[in-house]
A and B are shown apart, each in its own frame.
Chain A
Amino acid sequence: MGKLLRTLALASMCLAFMLPLAAKGQAAPCNAGQAVRLADLNWESASFTTHVVRRILASGYGCATEIVPGASAAIESALAQDDLQIIAEIWSGRSSIIEEAIRQGKIEVVGDTLAGGAEQGWYVPDFLVHGDAERGIEALAPDLRNWRDLPRYKSLFTDPEDPGKGRFLNCPSGWVCEATNSRLLRLHGLEEHYTNFRAGTGAALDAAINSAYDRGRPILFYYWQPAGLMAKYKFHRIEQDPFEQKCWDAIVSGDGDLCSSDFLRARLSVAVSAPFADRNPDLVAFFEKLQFEPALMNRMILEMTEARRSGEAMADRFLREHPDVWRAWLPQEVGARVAAALAPAGMPEIAGAAPAGHGIFPDWSASDLVNRQLMGMVKEYGGVFRRVSDFMLAGVLLPVERLMLAIPPWGFLLLVAALSWHATRKPVAAVLYPACLYLVGAMGLWDKLMQTFALVLASTLVSIVIGIPLGIVAARSRVLRRVLAPVLDVMQTLPSFVYLIPVLMLFGLGKVPALFATIIYAVPPLIRLTTLGLRQVDPDVVEAAQAFGVTRWQMLTKVTLPLARPSIMAGINQTTMMALAMVVVASMIGARGLGEDVLAGIQTLDVGRGLQAGVAIVILAIVIDRITQAYGRPRRQRAATSEEKPR
């Protein structure tokens, strides 16, 4: 009994002695044991920084980490609500959501991750101002220095969709810089000289700049530093008026009187949610010290773009190669833990360029080859493709669009009413369809509706011109059918994003690549249904016609095509529907119209705006669908719905 007591006492003494020790050795658990969620940012510098932070948090501080993707507006509001804890690269003064959250004390912005801050502004390729002897490019705009010089040079940057104006390539809708640039353009009175062209997506913006630079063509765009393209190419910054904080604030927020100012040299920081900052003072201390030299950052970005390395792979490389840099940010023992956690050198790199193999597969990836070929093609034949593009624009798209915009809204509504009546012979349709479109106009989307309709109409027309003859030939030729079948399968199933960017690089940003992408997607059903319709024509009727000595042409025009008409009309109907389905995707490469609003709605979390544009697309789809379907029905059937048959 006494022995037992003594043992117990000893044990409790030991425990009492050890507990504080344990606490001291382990420190407070990271973020109270909760997983730290970092925003997944998709531009290079941010992706790199995010992964450096993540690695250090995970191995140095023992945090459970998680990377969460999302559009910028979405992740910013998530941070304000502590759903996210860290955005590893935030640009000062760029986002009203962040500014608001800072004021409300929901977010803290700490550190200065890029020494000297980040430059942003309007740029042109450097060869435009200074020429490039090596590539044999003369300086086309040697005196382009200040924004005041821009109107003089607008013909250099001609917008093919709006000849007479230059094209200023803005950020995609939804980015903060888009609104900033738009206000600056208006403030400088440049809107009458330049169209304010939104790229749709960051990838589209990059692709357009890439393509122009490689072909040695002029281009005027907004860009920022540090970024991959900045490291890859030499750009010339257009001078702005001197920086005024007050003016800049007005330009960013859009409130108050606008006045001219240079872009803010943005300070890059780490944004953390306030509760997270409270819980983790040690991490905040780390973020405060975290800083890259611009030269180092540029080199990292360059390596990422050149070797197509992910932010994760680049972060790993950085941690290995530059321990002196990151050790300076961390307390001694944290640094030691990070170093210990780094896999011994010589280990295969973390998946970057090529994913880890399975051993049995040879490395036959063709992506580098395709990239090289595409860039080569853009350089070699870019001019030819641009001429095709200009032709399509001037010959097909602009006339259709001008026609659509020239018709007054009431005229268009009357036209729809007349068509609905003619197609369906139902008074309800003749009233309902124009009323639906009137509703779209009432939502303030009339011009965008017309732009979208023009694109759908143009691509449907081109699809008909391509699809029906091809369908006719395919109905006749078994060889062609065999060749065509897999091609059409590819056209219908290949994700459109895959060919969107190459098409953009070849044909330039805007309506033409959208038209091509739409046609690629929309023409297969028409070809298929034309072929099917022709092949399903009753052979007895064909034989009878033959017995009366028809020529091939007569057979086609008098017999098979009319008999295949329902099938062909179903094909045209499908084509228009698929063209409409491509509208949103097409807006990602700068096609104007309803898709633009849907995209902007997604990117700015403006659900109402997106939904409204979405509803407008649905209405347009239904109206087009019902009218074309009605024309697909045999004429007699249509007539029969309103009049009694004589017999």
Chain B
Amino acid sequence: MSEAKIEIRDVYKVFGPREGGPQEARAVELLRQGCDKASVQAETGCNVGLAGVSATLAAGQISCIMGLSGSGKSTLVRHLNRLIDPSAGQILIDGSNILDLSMADLRELRRHRVSMVFQNFGLLPHVNVIDNVAFGLDVRGESQAQARKKAAVWLERVGLLGYENNYPDELSGGMRQRVGLARALAIDADVLLMDEAFSALDPLIRRDMQDQMLALQQRLQKTIVFITHDIDEALRLGRYIVILRDGKVEQMGSPDDIRNHPANEYVERFMVRRSAA
């Protein structure tokens, strides 16, 4: 495995009735002692998101984080650009803890080093396609002309040339997500977070997008963290797979590892169902 780009160290996240309240510290304490999700919730009233996740994601490849809904996968990925702050633990990108960043430094991280694609696209409905793609560039202060020039290049790469002046609500779901992808790629960050990026698309289009994704990745060699609830997608895209359940890691490893040596019954069930299908 090549060098580590992202390290997640023993990250806990609980959602208390009041953010940062004393119940949260207590909940983390209970989780450390090995209490399960339900009993922590009963004890402290806190919802458990992540219960001690550690993982190392390598540079320049696609890592998939797989889990069913409620497993904490979307919560985890939002820690990587601090859309959510952990209750405990460390997150290192290129060896430095991003939790130590000031607000201004964090903005710099988000503007240059980590970008993100969302399940529900998160496009600006009042802005046309080209300016949506240029959004990240515009935000970090590039001139409009330059931003649009760069955006046009990316729009072409995702195959949306000619749709510059359309508005998001005039596009199909697949096209919208390609706008989202172009927007994320346009800022040319090393790390690309993709939160269930293709889950809202129908199966055929999803397959297309996966192919396009793989083709792009061959050229770009980015560190991609791909969140999915679909084991097929994970196996197809990921060079490394982390399987989450109830905020804990069930198994990590290469697709072959997982396929051939399921760590436990839970992971095995996925494989069985897959081969049955």
Contacts and interface: CB of A to CB of B under 8 A. Distances in A.
A543 B83 contact: yes
A547 interface: yes
Interface stretch (B60-68, B116-124, B204-212, B216-224): B116-124
Nearest to B135: A548
B126 A540 contact: no
B70 interface: no
Interface stretch (B107-115, B234-242, B247-255, B256-264): B107-115
Interface in B81-115: 81, 83, 106-111, 115
Contacts of B165: 646
Contact of B109 (A538, A544, A549, A563): A549
Interface string A517-552: 000000000000000000000101101111111110
B83 A548 contact: no
Contacts of A103: none
Contact of A546 (B83, B123, B170): B83
A140 to B, nearest CB: 61
Interface stretch (A87-95, A482-490, A554-562, A620-628): A554-562
B107 A544 contact: no
Nearest to A566: B126
A562 B135 CA distance: 14
A558 B139 contact: yes
A563 B187 contact: no
B102 to A, nearest CB: 13
A554 B139 CA distance: 7
A647 B111 CA distance: 34
A544 B118 contact: yes
A297 B109 CA distance: 85
Given A540-B120, A541-B122, A541-B124, A547 B83 contact: yes
Q: Which of B118, B127, B139, B166 has the largest number of chain A CB atoms within 10 A?
A: B139
B251 to A, nearest CB: 28
Nearest to B163: A647
Given A544-B116, A554-B139, A549 B125 contact: no
B219 to A, nearest CB: 23
Given A547-B110, A549-B139, A563 B125 contact: yes
B270 interface: no
A63 to B, nearest CB: 74
B168 to A, nearest CB: 10
Given A540-B118, A540-B122, A541-B124, A549 B111 contact: yes
B126 A544 contact: no
Interface residues of B, number: 32
A323 to B, nearest CB: 76
B121 to A, nearest CB: 8
B140 interface: yes
B123 A541 contact: yes
A6 interface: no
B136 interface: yes
A479 to B, nearest CB: 15
Contacts of A636: 167
A163 interface: no
B139 A647 contact: no
A647 B124 contact: no
B61 to A, nearest CB: 22
Nearest to B186: A548
A634 interface: yes
B111 A548 contact: yes
A489 B208 CA distance: 55
B29 to A, nearest CB: 29
Given A547-B115, A548-B135, A549-B139, A562 B126 contact: yes
Contact of B139 (A543, A548, A646): A548
Nearest to A547: B116
B170 to A, nearest CB: 6
Given A554-B139, A558-B139, A647-B170, A548 B126 contact: no
A399 to B, nearest CB: 34
A309 B141 CA distance: 71
A549 B123 contact: no
Contacts of B138: 558
Contacts of B166: 647
A563 to B, nearest CB: 6
B105 to A, nearest CB: 10
Given A549-B109, A549-B110, A544 B139 contact: no
Contacts of A550: 107, 139
Interface in B181-200: 183, 187, 193
Contacts of A545: 122, 124, 135, 139
A636 B169 CA distance: 11
B242 to A, nearest CB: 21
Contact of A559 (B83, B116, B124): B124
Interface in B114-166: 115-116, 118, 120-127, 135-136, 138-140, 165-166
Contacts of A646: 165
Query: 7 smallest A-B Cβ distances: which pairs?
Result: A544-B122, A549-B110, A549-B111, A549-B107, A547-B116, A548-B136, A540-B120
24 contacts: A540-B120, A541-B122, A541-B123, A541-B124, A543-B122, A544-B123, A544-B180, A545-B122, A547-B81, A547-B83, A547-B193, A548-B110, A548-B111, A548-B116, A548-B139, A548-B183, A548-B187, A549-B136, A549-B140, A550-B139, A551-B107, A558-B124, A558-B135, A562-B126
Given A548-B116, A558-B138, A562-B126, 4 more contacts: A547-B83, A547-B110, A549-B106, A562-B127
Interface of A: 538, 540-541, 543-551, 554, 558-559, 562-563, 565, 634, 636, 646-647
